[in-house]
Amino acid sequence: MTCAVLCIGTELTRGELVDTNGPWLAAALTDLGFEVLEKATVDDDRARIISAVRRLAGVARVIVCTGGLGPTTDDLTSEAVAEALGVPTERDEPSLDHIRRRLEKLGRTVSPTNAKQADFPRGAEILPNPIGTAPGFQVGIGGALLFFMPGVPREMMRMFEEQIVPRIRPLAPSESFQIRLRTFGLPESVVGERLGGVEAAFPGVTIGYRAHFPEIEVKVLARVKSEDGDGEGSKAPKTDDAARALCERATTEVRSRLADVIYGEGHDTFAGVVGRALRARGFTLAIAESCTGGLVGHMVTREPGASDFLLVDAVTYANSAKTRLLGVGEDVLRGHGAVSAEVAAAMAEGVRRVSDADIALSLTGVAGPSGGTAEKPVGTVYLAVASAKGTLVKHRVFPGERLQIQTLASYLGLSLVREACG
Amino acid sequence: MTCAVLCIGTELTRGELVDTNGPWLAAALTDLGFEVLEKATVDDDRARIISAVRRLAGVARVIVCTGGLGPTTDDLTSEAVAEALGVPTERDEPSLDHIRRRLEKLGRTVSPTNAKQADFPRGAEILPNPIGTAPGFQVGIGGALLFFMPGVPREMMRMFEEQIVPRIRPLAPSESFQIRLRTFGLPESVVGERLGGVEAAFPGVTIGYRAHFPEIEVKVLARVKSEDGDGEGSKAPKTDDAARALCERATTEVRSRLADVIYGEGHDTFAGVVGRALRARGFTLAIAESCTGGLVGHMVTREPGASDFLLVDAVTYANSAKTRLLGVGEDVLRGHGAVSAEVAAAMAEGVRRVSDADIALSLTGVAGPSGGTAEKPVGTVYLAVASAKGTLVKHRVFPGERLQIQTLASYLGLSLVREACG
């Protein structure tokens, strides 16, 4: 049972908008157990929409389409699909009522262009849009089922999940189960090498990678063929269990190969995991940043609940601030330079003293692009963690540009905090 | 002269990777003056690659393709294109030498799978890859020119600009010129409404929008038809000048309609513009954050050269830190609460005092999701700017979720700093 995705819109073919609907739908269909053959994007051109719809209906059984259902004259999807089917469009009165009620709520009345959004190819099944103006619709061409939704991502996602998934799930040739693991510390190529052979060892399992610098998310997807053959009728719950069991077996293997770099799964974030470790021990945290300029604090505080443990983050960018706020000795700064093990230690100890925190982290370095020297090149960072156990200092030279250096240093700093909780 | 973009890779049709090459190429081709009819994405399947290549060669004159040139058995682009052309693949010795030299630098030798990257359809013109292993190639099918590049974005962008642009620019049916304006303060729909009629008033001009929350980038693109007809031969410089002049006239109109929200153009960033304003006056800056948790500091310091003006950013998350580091009175905190005009003022004045900065900004609020009250709901933020002129306090209730509230508050804070420089 094969699928295709069609995105319609000149803003997409001109690259004015980065298409997020296409990848989202491709992933959702894959996760449901379908094979996605093609994603196509065409501009708002009647002939090209007709030709894409007809062509895809000839190669795939389920085609999910977004875009071109808006009120403007550019929005041609409904008319083009009617033409592809050889039928006229017809106004759907319940949809027009829905559009009228939504616009009235916004203090507006229905114009002829809005009314156009209630016109659908004759015979189409309407797919209501609970959170937007434009309804969607479903039609059949030959043996293919085609679904059309508006291009607004929120509306599209809601309609897909509420209306399309129940209609197509029984058609999926396999049942699937997935686990997403979050890693930090290795480049994607090395993560891939470490997992070499896992797919072969667990037939039905696919490993996917998604990089969000500096993290690599590893998706373990298990598919098990539906027991009732080609997907007609409802699935036996056994298929479901088998997919989950296969996924869990493969994930155990993946975990053992990446044990040193997996920090969490699903929607975990690195700072969130570090926060959990602090909370579990009842520890408070203080931070003193220099080259990272507030990034560590931002990572920690973009997670809800940071006030449970974070007392202060002193971004002491100027030397005078290091002295005045943290009590770093002027002689230490003069003698070793602001980027030094001694200053990192004094910053961590200083911020711990002024805040009474259990654990204090400091970072000082050269984020670049200027400020590097032969001895301390761009990328040099000293990190220190001070706690009741004493002060630990680390030295690294990170590769990359300014923001990459800041990000890598911040991640390493948070790792050190997590270790200090251990 | 029409174009199409073809992206090849199962990781794309499965939605495991969000395609950034497709939108980038679509925008680059549009900017060069081409009309992009379609972006297609197919999986690493020989038959589907062949069918896509043949089909697109029938509808467009220039087809730019990425992906499937890697060393693994999944990478089938070269073989599939050869089959589409009805020719065998042949090994290109200079390419093999290039691959060997690159791998040797990495301490590796050429395996048979690597050697495969030097196999191209007979008669193809090789496109060298200066920064990666896999070269690209160019072939003709009927009247269409097809270009194939690896999918690694860095390599693809470099090869496109160095090798494909010079080959296709003479074919572009028009000359184009663009100006990108950066705005902050209005939603995309309102920016669009304000610019209603500009495209009609300046024929040949297209306005594009790209949202990076909370900013909207407005692209003014002017196209002027090449004087030498259908794009054969080189352009008269006059066409170039005419496109620039048209773009500048339209941009003047756009600027007048968005004067209150445009903060810069091209690669400007909001924090960078605020930094320029501080530098121009020779002012130093101190920040005291609470609900924004370091985000203002991060925005300021991700720009190179922040050390010219930034002295300190005290993220005083706990009340005790507000008192100890900034001298905010415990009675003020008790009497008005940490989220109050009084505490915002005391934080700004406190951080200015401890740092001797010319301008001090403070932010305190409720970023949520918890912590809101009827009187001070989630989104409530007090901001203060202290300078030699005195202390100014602002109060806002921002919509959205935690990170959106933090982001909007940080932008407003930086706006206030810019105003204080004025």
Domain ranges of chain B: 2-171, 174-265, 270-421
Q: Which residue has the tokens 């293919």?
A: A144
pLDDT at A71: 80
Predicted pLDDT at A201: 97
B336 pLDDT above the threshold of 90: yes
pLDDT tens-digit profile of B270-292? Answer: 999 999 999 999 999 999 999 99
Percent of chain A with pLDDT over 70: 97
Torsion sign (Cα): A283, A284, A288, A292: positive
pLDDT mean across residues, chain B: 92
pLDDT of residue B13: 92
Nearest CA to CA, how far is B218 from chain A (Å)? 10
Q: How confident is the model at residue B233 (pLDDT cuts 50, 70, 90)?
A: very low
Q: Residue B230 pLDDT more than 60? A: no
- Residue B397 has which token pair? 């209730």
pLDDT above 60 for A154? yes
- With a cut of 60, say whether residue B83 has pLDDT above it: yes
What is the pLDDT of chain A when averaged over all its residues? 92
- The answer to whether the Cβ–Cβ distance between A302 and B13 falls below 8 Å is no
When CB atoms are compared, the residue of B43, B293, B324 closest to A354 is B324
Residues of A in contact with B40 (CB under 8 A): 38-41
Chain A residue numbers touching B64 (CB-CB < 8 A): none
The predicted-structure confidence for A35-57, as pLDDT tens digits, reads as follows: 899 999 999 999 999 999 999 99
Confidence of residue A230 (pLDDT cuts 50, 70, 90): very low
- Chain B hits for A106, CB-CB cut-off 8 Å, are none
- Band the pLDDT of B70: cuts 50, 70, 90: confident
B69 touches B148 (CB < 8 A)? yes
For A40, the closest of B11, B38, B356 (CB atoms) is B38
**Nearest-CA neighbor of B279 among B241, B309, B256, B249?**
B309
CATH topology of domain A270-421: Maf protein (3.90.950)
CB B197 within 8 A of CB B205: no
Considering only residues B217 and B138, tell me which one the structure prediction assigns the higher pLDDT: B138
Candidates B315, B323, B407: best to mutate against A (most CBs of A within 10 A) is B315
Rounded distance between C-alpha atoms, residue B208 and residue A13, angstroms: 12
List strand residue ranges (DSSP E) for A260-325, in order: 262-265, 285-289, 310-316
pLDDT (mean) for A370-395: 97
Looking at residue A236, its pLDDT comes to: 53
For residues A344 and A364, the answer to whether their CB atoms sit within 8 Å is yes
Measure the CA–CA gap between A20 and B52, rounded to whole angstroms.
Answer: 22
Query: Terminus-to-terminus CA distance in chain A, angstroms?
Result: 49
pLDDT in tens, B163-220: 999 999 989 888 888 899 999 998 777 888 899 899 999 999 988 877 788 998 998 9
CATH 3.30.70.2860 given to domain A174-265: yes
Partner residue facing B317 (CB), from A302, A310, A368: A310
Q: Which spans in B1-92 are helix H?
A: 10-13, 21-32, 46-59, 77-85
Judged against a pLDDT cut of 60, whether residue A245 lies above it is answered with yes
Cβ-defined contact of B36 to A43 (cutoff 8 Å) = yes
> Which amino acid type is present at position B400?
G
pLDDT of residue A8: 96
| Contact assignment for A13 to B39 by CB distance below 8 Å | yes
Q: Are A221 and A178 in contact (CB under 8 A)?
A: yes
pLDDT score at A237: 60
Q: What pLDDT score was predicted for residue A229?
A: 45
Token output for B119: 């196999």
Closest CA to A173 of A299, A29, A310: A29
φ, ψ for residue A188 (rounded to 5)? -55, -40
What residues of chain A lie within 8 A of the CB of B23, using their CB? Answer: 12, 15, 17-19
Using the predicted structure, report yes or no on whether residue A114 has a pLDDT greater than 60.
yes
The CATH class for the domain spanning A2-171 reads alpha beta
Report the C-alpha gap between A330 and A317 in whole angstroms. 15
Of the candidates A39, A52, A302, the beta carbon closest to that of B13 is on A39
Q: How many C-alpha atoms does B234 have within 13 Å on its Cβ side? A: 3
Helix/strand/coil for A299: helix
Look up residue B72 and give its amino acid: T
- Do A180 and A258 meet the contact criterion of CB atoms below 8 Å apart? no
Rounded CA-CA distance B200/B223 in Å is 14
Choose the weakest-confidence range: A23-32, A336-345, B49-58, B137-146.
A23-32
B236 has pLDDT over 70: no
Nearest to A276 by CA among A287, A286, A264, A266: A264
CA distance B254 to A325: 47
C-alpha separations of B240 from A191, A411, B179, B222, B224 in Å: 48, 48, 14, 10, 8
A149 neighbors A28 (Cβ within 8 angstroms)? no
| Statement: residue B229 has pLDDT above 80 | no
Inter-chain residue contact B43 with A48, CB threshold 8 Å: no
The mean pLDDT of A261-269, rounded to a whole number, is 95
* Predicted model pTM: 0.82
- Contact criterion met (CB below 8 Å) for B2 and B35: yes
Write the CA distances from A262 to A182, A265, A275, A300, B294, integer angstroms: 6, 8, 16, 19, 27
Q: Do B210 and A12 touch (CB under 8 A)?
A: no
* Between A107 and B319, the higher pLDDT residue: B319
8 A C-beta contact, residue A411 and residue A295: no
Q: Is residue B317 over pLDDT 70?
A: yes
CA proximity to B77, closest of B127, B129, B133, B7: B7
Residue position matching structure tokens 């923001």: A403
A105: Cβ contacts below 8 Å, ≥ 6 apart:
none
- Measured CA to CA in angstroms, residue A227 lies from A28, A230, A260, A323, B55 at distances of 22, 8, 38, 70, 37
pLDDT score at A227? 66
Whether residue B360 contacts residue B371, with contact meaning beta carbons closer than 8 Å, is answered with: no
pLDDT of residue A75: 86
Query: For position A228, what pLDDT does the model report?
Result: 54
Parallel, antiparallel, or unpaired for β B285-289 and B359-365?
A: parallel
Average confidence (pLDDT) over B252-258: 98
Strands (DSSP E) along B160-258, which ranges? 174-184, 205-212, 215-225
What is residue B110's predicted lDDT score, i.e. its pLDDT? Answer: 81
Question: Considering Cα of A345, then A348, then A349, then A351, what sign does the dihedral take?
Answer: positive
Calculate mean pLDDT across residues B250-260. 97
Is a pLDDT exceeding 50 seen at residue B61? yes
Task: Please tell me the distance in Å from A229's CA to the nearest CA on chain B.
Answer: 23
- Tokens, residue A312: 């202060």
Beta carbons within 10 angstroms of residue B121's beta carbon: 22
Q: Strand A310-316 vs strand A285-289: parallel, antiparallel, or unpaired?
A: parallel
Q: What is the pLDDT of residue B71?
A: 79
- The pLDDT-based confidence of A326 (bands split at 50, 70, 90) is very high
Q: What pLDDT, on the 0 to 100 scale, is given for residue B237? A: 60
Q: Out of B27, B206, B298, whose CB is closest to A293?
A: B298
In this predicted structure, what is the pLDDT of residue B231?
44
Residue A403 in this model has a pLDDT that exceeds 60: yes
Collapsed DSSP state (helix, strand, coil) of residue B296: helix
